Amino acid sequence: MSLSGPVKIIGCGLIGTSIALRLKELGIGLILADTNEMNLRLATDLVGESSKEGGNPALVIIATPPETIFDIAKHEFSNNPAALFIEVSGVKSNLLLEVNSFPELAGNFASVHPMAGRETSGPQSARSDLFESRAWIVSPTKLSSAKALKAAQDLGGALGSTIYELDSGTHDSVVAAISHLPQILSSALGGSLKDESAEHLNLAGQGLRDVSRLADSEPELWSSLLLANSKEISPKISEVISRLSSLNQAISSGDRNAIIDFFNEGRAGRAKIPGKHGSAKRDYTFVPIVIDDKPGGLARIFNECAAIEVNVEDLSMEHSPGQEVGLITLALSASDAEKLQKHLVSKGFLAHSPRKN
């Protein structure tokens, strides 16, 4: 099945509206629905005329909390049994058990999980490129037709994603480790800061901001996900608690070797995370650049990168309180780092010698 309209999207939050914006760019007619009138109005305005398509939908995409999906799917199926159905939630096992109990629906149904998101929710955070180069996990029901599976794969392809297929149990175990646990740890760190003064937090470097970024995520959404995936997430929380307890004991007893082991295991686990697009992790070289804290500084650096055709793989920014300068650190290949540093110095930038870490 090649994607064609109209496509009905139920749930106009971050994911649903981002899908709508991309399908709008592809010229596909849309029907938007949401029980939250404010979200629906904003999403409709963002999508424009594409959101006012008439007729029965060929495809229904359900982007609502996990506990509502099955009832919505049954209702929509009763009105339009010829449609295909795709849902995009972050937990699969319990939902697919429910869908499998309704064979007529299960044949037209496929479950997907776009591994993309932002720490802010709602249609106001939506982006048409949200799914670009991200994993798109397809989890079929026991009865999913070839047509339903192809629709799920075609949708991911249209959004620029890379397609993977996992059964529901494997999916829930994997996302507990790579998505749900990071959210929990970020929120735990954020909660530990609530009694710190703003004056003291103003001293924080980029590390605290990076690790606590996910703590801004939507509590209602995450409570639904964790309750739905309790079987998989609870053991992983227990493992982290055990690791932290062992570290605490090692610190209290002055056991330096145990403390070193804790950090070495952390480095070993992180080293397994692949680089961009699932490729092997790159051995980057870093170029530190001191710039004035003024508008346009970062843009000027990237203009110079483009001028000499070097590829920036990643960047970080640091800005100390009260300082009129900031530190930009660019990650590149060793050859590009050397080339860029020399070029920036020749252009008057305060670019320091490349380093490995």
Residue with tokens 């392809």: 157
Q: Is the pLDDT assigned to residue 62 strictly greater than 70? A: yes
Reported confidence tier of residue 181, pLDDT bands at 50, 70, 90: very high
Is the pLDDT at 232 greater than 70? The verdict is yes
* Second CATH level (architecture) for the domain 7-167: 3-Layer(aba) Sandwich (3.40)
Considering only 49-58, 73-82, 185-194, 327-336, which range has the smallest mean pLDDT?
49-58
Q: Enumerate residues 6+ apart whose C-beta is below 8 A from 136.
A: 112, 113, 114, 115, 155, 156, 159, 161, 162, 163, 164
What is the distance of C-alpha 184 from the center of its chain? 15
Burial class (CB in 10 A: 0-12, 13-18, 19+), 223: exposed
Token output for 49: 């005329």
Q: Which pLDDT does position 277 carry in this prediction?
A: 47
Whether the Cβ atoms of residue 26 and residue 129 lie closer than 8 Å to each other: no
pLDDT in tens, 87-146: 999 999 999 999 999 999 999 999 999 998 877 778 998 999 999 989 999 999 999 999
What's the start-to-end Cα distance of the chain, in Å?
A: 48
Q: CA nearest 95: which of 80, 111, 78? A: 111
Question: Is the link from the previous residue into 6 a cis peptide, with omega within 30 of 0?
Answer: yes
| 316 vs 177: which has the higher pLDDT | 177
Q: How far is CA 282 from CA 275, 306, 313, 332, 356, in A?
A: 6, 21, 9, 9, 12
Tokens of 348: 């008057």
Question: How far is residue 83's CA from residue 278's CA, in Å, rounded to a whole number?
Answer: 34
Q: What is the CATH number of domain 285-351?
A: 3.30.70.260
pLDDT tens for residues 149-174?
A: 999 999 999 999 999 999 999 999 99
Judge whether 286 and 355 are in contact, CB under 8 Å: yes
Query: What pLDDT is attached to residue 41?
Result: 93
What number is the average pLDDT over the span 224-245?
96
Residue 303: CB partners within 8 Å, gap ≥ 6? none
Whether 278 has a pLDDT exceeding 70, the answer reads: no
How long is the chain?
357
pLDDT score for 298: 87
- Of 184, 130, 117, which is closest to residue 22 (Cα–Cα)? 130
Alpha helices (H) in 3-82, listed in sequence order: 14-25, 37-47, 66-79
Biggest distance spanned by C-alpha atoms of the chain: 71
Q: What is the DSSP letter of 50?
A: G
- Which numeric CATH code is attached to 172-271? 1.10.3660.10
Domain ranges across the chain: 7-167, 172-271, 285-351
For residue 298, give both structure tokens.
Answer: 């970062």
Most confident of 23-37, 267-281, 307-321: 23-37
